[in-house]
Amino acid sequence: MDQLDYEEKYRGQGKQYICGVDEAGRGPLAGPVCAAAVILHPGQRIEGVNDSKKLTPKKREALYEVILQEALCCSIAWASEEEIDQLNILRATFLAMNRAVEGLKIQPDFVLVDGNQDPGLGIETLPLVKGDSLSLSIGAASILAKVARDRYMLELDQQYPQYGFQKHKGYPTAQHYAALRQYGPSPVHRLTFLKKMH
């Protein structure tokens, strides 16, 4: 299967602007969830784009810049740890995805989204499980979301160095739990995620 099959299929049905959407940061105990939306030029390929989790950080960083420069348009958006605590992580993720799509300079007429649920964008949407490796548009969005969130967690590491965000980006590791036990939660921790703390 080609990574542009889905884009070509729906373009063939008259959809002009096809957008890929993905998120990063659903699992961490701290920090916001990030979503990105990407519309590529028709037939455009960006060499090396794949599921962001399969790429090295250095490769992701390089592709991040290429995608921002070469895609037809892109948008990155967030839902805060407060919104995650208020809404729950799924609804906060959908909120970030909605914000990302709304932030595009061109409104898409079709959306390919990673996962098995429709985030309720008000636009015709196809959820794709493992979409970040099936669709180039979703793969590009996954790279933008992951790099943007990792960079933000490095900023938070400067503010709260005791938690080790630089290493684990807020994900639940033994080191992170040890820091939480020692220092308690910071203002950027998701309190609803800490109820199950070891």
Average pLDDT over residues 36-47: 95
Whether 57 maps to a domain, the answer reads yes
Examine residue 198 and state whether it is found in any structural domain, yes or no: no
Q: Which residues of 8-28 are buried (b: 16+ CB within 10 A; e: fewer)?
A: eebbeeebebbbbbbbbbeeb
pLDDT single digits (tens) 62-97: 999 999 999 999 999 999 999 999 999 999 999 999
Q: pLDDT-based confidence at 195, cuts 50/70/90?
A: confident
Domain enclosing residue 27, as ranges = 5-193
User: d(Cα 34, Cα 48) in Å, to the nearest integer?
Assistant: 22
Domain for residue 60, yes or no? yes
51, pLDDT greater than 70: no
Phi and psi at 187, nearest 5°, equal -65, -15
Local confidence band at 28 (pLDDT 50, 70, 90 cut-offs)? very high
Q: What angle do CA 41, 45, 48 make, to 5 degrees?
A: 140
Q: Is 176 within a domain? A: yes
The Cα 172–Cα 177 span in angstroms is 7
> Number of folded domains in the chain?
1
Tell whether the model's pLDDT for residue 53 goes beyond 80: no
pTM (2 d.p.): 0.96
> Is 198 a residue whose pLDDT tops 70?
no
Q: Is residue 157, in this structure, part of any structural domain at all?
A: yes
- pLDDT tens digits for 102-134? 999 999 999 999 999 999 999 999 999 999 999
In a domain, 71, yes or no: yes
Q: Is 103 a domain residue?
A: yes
Split at pLDDT 50, 70, 90, the class of 170 is very high
Q: What is the CATH number of the domain that holds 66?
A: 3.30.420.10
Confidence band for 54, pLDDT divided at 50, 70 and 90: confident
Residue 41 buriedness (CB in 10 A; 0-12 / 13-18 / 19+): exposed
Q: Are the CB atoms for 75 and 36 separated by under 8 Å? A: yes
